[in-house]
Each structure stands twice: as C-alpha cells, then as structure tokens.
Amino acid sequence: MTRADRRTSLPARLAAGALTAVLASLLVAGGSIVAAGAMGVWPIGATASVAAPSPSPTDPVSPRRSSSPVASPPPAAAPTPTATPTPISPAAETCDGDTVLTVWAHPDDDIIFANPMISDALAAGQCVRSLFVTAGDAGRGLGYAKEREQGIINAYDHMRGAVGAWDSSLVTLDAGLRVERRTPQGDPRVSVLFAHLPDGNITDGGFDATGHQTLSKLLDGGIGTISPIDGGPAVDRSHLSAALAEFAAALHPVRTLTHVPRGSAYASGDHPDHSVVGTLVRDSVGHDAAAAPGILYFIGYPSQDLPRTLDGAILDAKVETYRLYSQHDDVVRCADREACLKTRRFGEWLRRSYPLAEADLRLS
C-alpha cells in the first residue's frame, strides 16, 4: 500500500470504526453483550454467533472465525503409582560373590565343628557371615566373653589370610534383636556377629550370674524372655526366630551352616545350647528354600565317637586356626599343634567334621 492509499483510506477506516461503535452501543442497550472487531461483531460466549464477513483476498492474515465452541483439552492422565521400595534390613551386607551364613551357640563352635568348610568358603572368594547366639560367657561375665570374641577375630584373620583392625557397630534388627557386628577394615567378605545371650551351661541349668536363663527354657516356655549379658534389649522366642529369618532373607545365603537340631539321633549328648540353636534355625529358615537353601547341620560333641575325617595339611590348617583362637580362652589354651590335639575332647573334635543334610538327621 502506498502513502497515498493510506491517506485516502483513513476516512473510510474512521467511518467503519464509528459504525462499529454505534452497533455495539445498540446491542448493549438491547440486553446482549457483544464483542466488536475489525472483522465483524459476535456475542461473547454465545452458542450461535453472528457471521463474520469473509476475509478480503488482499488480506491473507485475516483469520476466519469459527462458530463452533472451542474444544476442551483432554483430561490429564492419572500419574502412575510409584512402588514403595522394600525397606532394607539392618542385617543386610553387600557381597561381590556368594554368601555363606553360619549360626552357632558359642564362639568357637564354628572353627571346631564346621571347619574346613568355612575356611574353604573364604578361600573360594565367598563372603562369610557368622552369628554367635550366646556370649559363651560360662557365667564369668562380659569380660571373658569379650576375650573369646577376640579369639574368634584372630581365627578369622588366619582363615582370610590377613591381619588388621576390625570395626565394631551395634545393629538392631527389625525383629528387635541387637547384635554387635565386627568387620575387618578393607575386607567386606567377613563379618562376625555377637548376640550376647547368656550361656546355658552344659547342665542346661544356666548360671547364677545370669539368673539361670537358658535358650532351652526360652524354647520350652519356661521363661518368656531372655536378656543379653551386655544390657541389650530382652527378646522372646518369636523375636529370636524372626531375627534368624531376617538374617537369611537379608543375606540370601547360598549355604547355611549350624548345629544339629533337637530330635536328631545325633543330638543326644550334645551341648543343649547347640541343639536349641539348630532347632531355631531349622524352624525359622529351614523350610524356606528361597531364603536359605542348602542348610547343613554339623554334629557336635557326639562326633568324637565317629571315625576321624581330617588329616594332613587340612587338619594342620584347622588346628592352627583353633590355636590362635585359644590364646584368648584360658579354659582351652594350647601352645602348639600337638598340645591342641591332646586337649581332652577338643583334640578329637578337631580331627572330625560331619555336616548333615535334612535327610541325614534321623529325626525321631
């Protein structure tokens, strides 16, 4: 458009604007609210609109107004629910390979009855998590129990082939059982855990110092709860069983090692704490193949009446592991291989190891 065209069309545009204003005022006066624009006049929000003039062919940017209502946008899709992650148990520990879970009544049961299987697992690169249910205190207090624990640490240092500092932490499981977890610095393959429940005594009567509390009485209903000797929270049988199940579910062991349970022909003459722990493990996780496949039950004291199974270098390594432990247990301390093998009963137990599968237990 030239400057002359713009000058010529100015009056016409002013006249059109005046006409639009007049129409708008008339429509408002008649009771209808309208909107006026350069391209036409139509009611705001009306369902039937006044037709707008067709756009001029010379005005390509003039849009055609539609008489149809504007479509509403589709409703937003409901958000997909986010699955709540399963809480991680405090019992969980990371492992780059397979895990072996071992559960024992006293510190030293593992290295006496289950070796060389534990040392073999470590040599194969597997992780080993060993839980000791009682303090093995023999009624002598926490000091003696702590000495035995240091002996266990020395034994595991020998089996893992390294010596160094160990970290310690108190861990309260979701089931309510509190344990002390000891782990060698820089070696996450190994952990030993101490629940510090009172030793039940070979007589199964307990000790004066711990109020004659025993695992047998807890299992049989003679007492409702049992209290750790380190002042930790008391637990009942359901808490203890749930704790064992929690360990198995959190660690996903490929193998679980423990004592022969009650009712087995091989439990007669064993320490009562041994058979109770075996029973608790069997009842808590023994029937859950997904949580703890391949449970092996080790014959305890009665193994001395069975044929010897170990000799040579395997026996030497086992005895040395035990000797290092014994330096912190003044009841069984032995100076060398020969002295350890001459220790009454212990020498015979060291020469043997008898793991049993479920089918081998000869349950009554």
Each domain of the chain, given as residue ranges in start order, spans 99-360
Q: For the segment 169-181, what is each residue's pLDDT rounded down to a tens digit?
A: 999 999 999 999 9
Give pLDDT, residue 86.
59
Distance CA 96, CA 313 (A): 29
pLDDT reading at 164 higher than 60: yes
pLDDT at residue 300 in the model = 98
Check residue 323 and give its pLDDT.
98
Model pTM? 0.77
Contact between residue 116 and residue 310 where contact means Cβ atoms under 8 Å apart: yes
**pLDDT in the model for residue 304:** 98
Q: Which pLDDT belongs to residue 294?
A: 82
Q: Please, which pLDDT band fits residue 43 given cuts at 50, 70 and 90?
A: very low
- What percent of the chain clears pLDDT 90, i.e. is strictly above it? 73
Higher pLDDT, 317 or 3: 317
**For range 273-298, the mean pLDDT:** 86
Q: Which residue has the tokens 């009841």?
A: 331
Alpha-carbon distances, residue 217 vs 70, 213, 284 (angstroms): 80, 7, 18
Please, what's the largest Cα pairwise distance for the chain?
A: 128
Q: How confident is the model at residue 286 (pLDDT cuts 50, 70, 90)?
A: confident
Q: Phi/psi at 356 (nearest 5 deg)?
A: -125, 140
Asked whether the predicted pLDDT for residue 27 surpasses 60, the reply is: no
pLDDT (average), residues 238-262: 96
- Give Cα 270 to chain centroid, integer Å: 33
Q: Which of the two residues, 188 and 51, has the higher pLDDT score?
A: 188
Question: In the numeric block, which tokens belong to residue 48?
Answer: 């039937």
Amino acid letter at 159?
Answer: M
Whether 68 has a pLDDT exceeding 80, the answer reads no
At residue 226, the pLDDT reads 98
Cβ proximity of 310 and 318 under 8 Å: yes
Is 57 a residue whose pLDDT tops 70?
A: no
**How far is it, in rounded angstroms, from Cα 161 to Cα 159?**
6
Question: Which residues touch 274 (CB under 8 Å, ≥6 apart)?
Answer: 105, 109, 259, 260, 267, 300, 301
- From residue 94, alpha-carbon distances to 34, 88, 260, 301 in Å are 74, 11, 28, 34
Q: What is the mean pLDDT of the chain?
A: 84
Read off φ and ψ for residue 50, nearest 5 degrees: -75, 130
CATH architecture, range 99-360: 3-Layer(aba) Sandwich (3.40)
Whether 246 shows a pLDDT value over 50: the answer reads: yes
Q: What pLDDT score was predicted for residue 75?
A: 61
CB 237 within 8 A of CB 225: no
Q: pLDDT value at position 63?
A: 40
Q: Name the nearest CA neighbour of 104 among 341, 253, 271, 265.
A: 271
**223-236 pLDDT tens trace:** 999 999 999 999 99
Least trusted range by pLDDT, from 82-96, 183-197, 327-341: 82-96
Q: 3-state SS of the chain?
A: CCHHHHHHHHHHHHHHHHHHHHHHHHHHHCCCCEEEECCEEEECCCCCCCCCCCCCCCCCCCCCCCCCCCCCCCCCCCCCCCCCCCCCCCCCCCCCCCEEEEEECCCCHHHHHHCCHHHHHHHCCCEEEEEEEECCCCCCCHHHHHHHHHHHHHHHHHHHCCCCCEEEEEEECCCCCEEEEEEECCCCCEEEEEEEECCCCCCCCCCHHHCCCCHHHHHHCCCCCECCCCCCCCECHHHHHHHHHHHHHHHCCCEEEEECCCCECCCCCCCHHHHHHHHHHHHHHCCCCCCCCCEEEECCHHHHHCCCCCCHHHHHHHHHHHHHHHCCCCCCCCCCHHHHHHCCCHHHHHCCCCEECHHHCCEC
- Within 10 A of 330 (CB to CB), how many other CB atoms are there? 11
- pLDDT reading at 298 higher than 70: yes
Measured CA to CA, the distance from residue 338 to residue 326 in angstroms comes to 14
pLDDT at 336 exceeding the cut of 60: yes
The pLDDT-based confidence of 79 (bands split at 50, 70, 90) is low
Model pLDDT, residue 200 = 98
In three-state form (DSSP H/G/I as H, E/B as E, the rest C), the secondary structure along 110-163 is HHHHHCCHHHHHHHCCCEEEEEEEECCCCCCCHHHHHHHHHHHHHHHHHHHCCC
Q: Cα 192 from chain centroid?
A: 16
